[in-house]
Structure 1
Amino acid sequence: MVRKGLVAVAAAVAAVGTYDVLQRRHSLLRNYPVVGHLRYLMESIRPEMQQYFIERDYDGMPYDRDTRSTVYERAKGTAGEDPFGTELDVYQPGYEFFVHSVTPRPLPEEAPRVRIGGPGCTRPYDMALLNVSAMSFGSLSAQAILALNRGAAAGGFAHDTGEGGISAYHLEHGGDLVWEIGTGYFGCRTPDGGFDEKEFARKAAGETVRCVSLKLSQGAKPGMGGVLPGAKVNAEIAAVRGVPEGETVISPSSHRVFSTPRELVRFIGRMRELAGGKPAGFKLCVGSRREILAICRAMVEEDITPDFIVVDGAEGGTGAAPMEFVDHVGMPLTEGLAIVHNALVGVGLRERVRIGASGKVATGSDIVKRLIHGADYTNAARAMMFAVGCIQSQRCHTNKCPVGVATQDPRRAHALDVEDKYERVRRYQQATVHSAMQIMASMGVTDPGQLRPHMLRRRVSHHEVASYAQLLTWLEPGQLLSGGPLPEEWEQAWETSDPDTFIA
């Protein structure tokens, strides 16, 4: 009898294991048949486990498991309405809320897009409100890149390549690309590690390359170059990046192509020329107000502006960085966006430059908040990884990602089914933009350009609430150039900014 029971159990386990390996919906089960079900068992008792999963972002508000669940549900197409009320403490300092209208507007038939392209751009691009943020092939698997790009193609939004170059997987499904160039100049790199203009121009001419971007810094590790462990640098990745196979790739911390603000804006103009008039811009995590103003002075004097600037917040993620950098270096996104937006307004150039926001953008409310803080559009990395199946195991740097997202191990990566996951990416982006539009409609707004700082409030103490019109300083168009009085925090930074040096 016992023997028969054991045989029955073994047969059941074998059947479950076979099903797990053959099914395509759950990458974890394909890599870890049978035992992977323990993870879903833990999910089933989520309310009791919720505190265990709580994380805190830099504004003190929860970026918790419920946020991740929202991404997963939207990606799966199963998101619905929640019963009861908010579980947040609305009297806790840091709580934020939108100012809704007693006359909400109907939802527009289509979500608005943002035209990227200033005076020097001859081939502008219409950007979606939410796009795939920078994540490189090498850091992510080929299957993850395929799913993200196919999702972008199906949903009509952009896919930032990250600094690892353009691979065949970025091109296979024809999704719109923002080609990002970092300090390593991967994909357009000379033998000595410099910038190769001819190779850049050749690849930027590709039909799916819609914009080109120069990465100055990254929110999770500003002041550090990227790191790709040697275990991930296989022959294919080495060929895409132009680096030796099997060796850890460490990008320099700074660029060769510029050393002053003036040289930076000139190089952006040169990138636009080499790209045949396509939009050119740069990405950075803001360090000091003075450096941003020095770049703006250079724009004014050279009459060269980037078509876009992507502001990355310190709360952004990475696959590999020292915890000291992750936790203590870089400006949070709210302040960084406000500084870049107001600096451009103050020198009269805001209409020529579009601003993107990246750094823990996951929900419709995140999008609306960032638009209020000064952005024109947003990019998401971590949430897009969730959409393709990331379970945040935090093993990205080990090449042992359990769900095939952040690994170059062929067996592990094969578990990620592109057919299933690209649809999740598309659904997640579509549902999240729809949520943002619903929030704006409830505020009486039909276009992001109608959003104003006073429409977002923040509890600053248990007894006091302030709007972002009060919490941040907002400059008038051309105010920095007018010669009139300036707010104290802007006056010294403006006076000490120099288009020919980043050094104070």
Structure 2
Amino acid sequence: MRHVIFSYLIGIFVLTLGLALWLSGLWWLPLISGGLLCVGIYDSMQHRHSLLVNFPLIGRMRWIIEDFRPFFQQYLLETETSGRPISRMFRSIVYQRAKGSVDSVPFGTQVDTYKSGYEWIGHSLSALSVDEVDHNPRITIGGPDCKQPYSASILNVSAMSFGALSKNAVMALNKGAALGGFYQNTGEGGLTPYHLENGGDIVWQIGTGYFGCRTKDGNFNELAFQEKAALPAVKMIEIKLSQGAKPGHGGILPAHKNTPEIAEIRGVTAGEDVISPPTHKAFSTPVEMCHFIQKLRELSDGKPIGFKLALGRKSEFLAICKAMIETGITPDFITVDGGEGGTGAAPLEYSNSIGFPLREALAFIDDALVGFGVRDRIKLIASGKIITAFQVVKNLSLGADLCNSARGMMFAIGCVQSLSCNTNTCPTGVATQDPKLYKGLDVNHKSTRVATFHKKTILATVDILSSTGHGSTEQLNRTHIFRRVDQQTIMRYDELFPLIEPGSFINEETAPKRYQLHLKEACASTFKPANTLAEINHETQSV
């Protein structure tokens, strides 16, 4: 085949050379054809790509098409419901609400309501007027040991670091949070000047790298933490144990996004991959973690302290609950991150196949806290592919008190799902450190869109509440959501996830049978569970 290709290339070069000699104005033609011929010769002699050896020059079309494939697919081929990871239907509703344009749909649903997995909420014949429902529902976060409780919106900006996001994106989200009265989570990249510039409420996330409160050798720095935690904008502190997109794996900042400015903020070397450790150095057991929570609470003068995790083994979270009972120390909130959560960069296997999805994780963690009798002291925050009002209501019904959204907020500031977050080439300037790209993101304009998206989504949530006959989000529970399990079976959430008697986990022998195996594996003195075999109850082996 390459002989045929070279025959054409040589023929075209000879033809254009003859035309240029005949007509002097066409001198540029042989330059182009000669250049293509040189590229073809190079392709046939290189050894990295066999495709180019066999198909010089034209084999390069493969890479060109690959580069443009996401755009062709998104704009020309995908349907309203088929886009991944977020469908066009959900992207469109964010754009419409952020712009304040018409957000209704014509001619009926495009969702297959008879497909297994379809979910809905039951309306009520005793529906309320929208005016009878609080239009700004808020949740107070802060347990009995908290001195500075925080009143949070039911929808907020999920954890996204400066580094993963551009400084303009961080500032737009923060200013939008200030305009709309909700908080922004910093992500594990640390608290930066861009989080503080516009006055939005901040949840400062402390990851395993301790960025922003880090010693030179990578340990936790109490003095640096105390200084930043005292800032008025910092309303809560969140310890990151794991995240849904890459649970059990430290955060990843690719080298090409690790600029000198980011490196200085994080206390690392610029231009190198920044991969946080998979575990914390400040504690190594559930009991030690509870004491670390208490330490942060004291250092922050009583601000709400919580932690974020993606559920891996159920027994590991039960070990944390046992440590809460043993120490008497409870967090003020827990953020439950689903395995479907997004990220700027993660190994494929981690994104696809590690960690519990949000629905199952949230139900279990809610049950565990109820079972140990501490649920009334701890608020639950749901995070993972939450974009629409129904997704907010569904998670509140399942057990959450409030929700975080990352990709929904990214769409509000202009993200077009180009799937280039890990390449530093984000075309909208959201997930890049290239100043030529992020300068196109106007902070003032995009912050208004963030606030408008939040406002309209909250109003849509209130609208759903009124249709179901509820005056507040706190009245929602698992009886309100229905799921088509298969073509013959419809079940409510309380049937799929049966409710737990308060305090029923404290005595393992009387706990519901489906939890007894996990309770036996859990120990407050270690995160690592005993590997109790499901069928041979008395035989164990070390993990």
Q: What TM-score comes out, normalization by structure 1 length?
A: 0.88
- Aligned match of 1:449: 474
CA distance in structure 2 between the partners assigned to 1:129 and 1:52 by the alignment? 27
Question: Residues of 1 paired with 2:305 and 2:480: CA distance?
Answer: 32
Q: Which amino acid is 2:491 matched to? A: A
Pair 1:101 & 2:101 matched:
no
Three-state SS of the structure 2 residue aligned to 1:397 is coil
CA distance in 1, matches of 2:508, 2:212: 45
Counterpart Cα distance in 2 of 1:52 and 1:466: 27
Deviation readout 1:386-437 (Å, 9 max, x if unpaired): 1010111111111111110011111111000111100010001111111111
CA displacement at 1:90 relative to structure 2: 1.2
- Conserved in 1, the CA contact under 8 Å of 2:135 and 2:462? no
Structure 2 residue aligned with 1:424, among 449, 462, 468?
A: 449
State the number of aligned residues: 459
Matched AA of 2:444: E
Higher relative contact order (CA 8 A, sep 6+): 1
Match of 1:83 in 2: 106
Shift of the 53–469 alpha-carbon distance from structure 1 to 2, 3 Å rule, reads closer
| 2:334–2:380 CA contact under 8 A, matched in 1 | yes
Match of 1:51, SS state, is coil
Displacement of 1:253 after TM fit? 0.9
Structure possessing the higher radius of gyration over alpha carbons = 2
Alignment of 1:134-173 (within 5 A): 134-173=159-198
Q: Distance in 1 between matches of 2:103 and 2:347?
A: 38
Give the counterpart of 2:279 among 224, 229, 254.
254
Distance 1:52 1:439 in 2: 23
The residue that corresponds to 1:66 in the other structure is: 89
Show the 5 A alignment for 1:241-390: 241-390=266-415
Pairing partner for 1:203 from 228, 240, 243: 228
Identical counterparts, % of pairs: 49
| Alignment match of 1:465 (pick from 482, 486, 490) | 490
2:79 to 45, 51, 59: 51
Question: 1:227·1:251 contact (CA, 8 Å) conserved in 2?
Answer: yes
1:407 aligns with: 432
1-side partners of 2:102 and 2:288: how far apart?
48
Aligned runs of 1:480-499 on 2, under 5 Å?
Answer: 480-481=505-506, 485-499=510-524
Look up the match of 2:48. none
Letter in 1 for 2:332: D
Taking the aligned partners of 1:228 and 1:97, their CA distance within structure 2 comes to 38
Q: Report the AA paired with residue 428 of structure 2.
A: V
User: 2:463, 2:355 → 1: CA distance?
Assistant: 32
Aligned equivalents of 1:401, 1:291: Cα separation in 2: 37
Q: Structure 1 residues 293-302 or 234-243, which shifts more?
A: 234-243
Residue matched to 1:60: none
Distance 2:220 2:506 in 1: 35
Question: What one-letter code is carried by the residue in structure 2 that aligns with 1:84?
Answer: F
> For residues 305-330 of structure 1, what are the alpha-carbon distances to aligned partners after superposition, in whole Å with 9 as ceiling and x for unaligned?
00000000000011111111110001
Secondary structure in structure 2 of the residue aligned to 1:330: coil
Ranges of 4+ aligned residues in structure 1 off by more than 4 Å: none
Q: Is the 8 A contact 2:483 2:491 kept in 1?
A: yes
- CA positional deviation for 1:473: 2.6
Q: State the distance in 1 between where 2:311 and 2:102 align.
A: 35
Cα drift, residue 334 of structure 1:
0.4
Counterpart pick for 2:265 among 230, 237, 240: 240
Cα distance, 1:485 vs. partner?
Answer: 3.1
2:145 corresponding residue in structure 1: 120
Residue in 1 aligned with 2:46?
none
State how far apart, in whole Å, the 1-side matches of 2:340 and 2:263 are: 30
The answer to whether the 8 A contact 2:337-2:382 is kept is yes
Please give the alpha-carbon distance, in whole angstroms, between the structure 2 residues aligned to 1:230 and 1:207: 33
Q: Is the 8 A contact 1:70 1:79 kept in 2?
A: no
Letter in 2 for 1:72: Y
Please say which of residues 295-304 and 105-114 is displaced more in the overlay. Answer: 105-114
Distance 2:246 2:498 in 1: 27
Does structure 1 residue 502 correspond to structure 2 residue 530? no
CA RMSD of aligned residues (A): 1.8
Q: How many angstroms does 1:464 deviate by?
A: 1.4
Q: What is the rounded CA distance, in whole Å, between the counterparts of 1:462 and 1:133 in structure 2?
A: 35
Are the equivalent residues in 1 in contact too, given 2:509–2:516 (CA < 8 A)?
no
Rounded Cα–Cα distance in structure 1 between residues aligned with 2:72 and 2:161? 31
| 2:45 counterpart residue number | none
Aligned AA (1:93): S
**Contact 1:160–1:179 (Cα < 8 Å) also in 2:** yes
* Contact kept in structure 2, 1:151 and 1:424, CA below 8 Å: yes
Distance in 2 (alpha carbons) for counterparts of 1:180 and 1:483: 34
Aligned-residue offset at 1:52: 8.5
How far apart, in 1, do the equivalents of 2:81 and 2:486 lie? 26
Deviation at 1:281, TM superposition (A): 0.4
Q: Distance in 1 between matches of 2:267 and 2:289?
A: 24
Q: What do the CA deviations read for 1:237-258 (whole angstroms, capped 9, x no partner)?
A: 1111111122221101111011
Q: Given that residues 116 and 307 in structure 1 are in contact (C-alpha distance below 8 angstroms), is that contact kept between their aligned partners in structure 2?
A: yes
2:253 corresponds to 1:228: yes
Aligned to 1:35: none
**How far apart are the structure 1 equivalents of 2:126 and 2:101?**
30
Provide closer, same or farther for how the CA distance between residues 250 and 484 of structure 1 changes in structure 2, counting only shifts above 3 A: closer
| TM-superposed deviation, 1:264 | 0.9
The aligned counterpart of 1:20 is none
Unaligned runs of 5+ in 2: 1-67, 531-543
Measure how far apart 1:110 and its partner are.
2.8
Residue number in structure 1 paired with 2:503: 478
Matched residue, 2:26: none
The Cα shift of 1:51 comes to 3.0
- Relative to the length of structure 2, the TM-score reads 0.82
Whole-angstrom CA distance in 2 between matches of 1:121 and 1:324 = 39
Q: Report the secondary structure of 2:307's partner residue.
A: strand
Instruction: Name the structure 1 match of 2:57.
Output: none
Structure 1: any 5+ residue segments left out of the alignment? Answer: 1-37, 58-62
Question: CA contact under 8 A between 1:311 and 1:337: conserved in structure 2?
Answer: yes
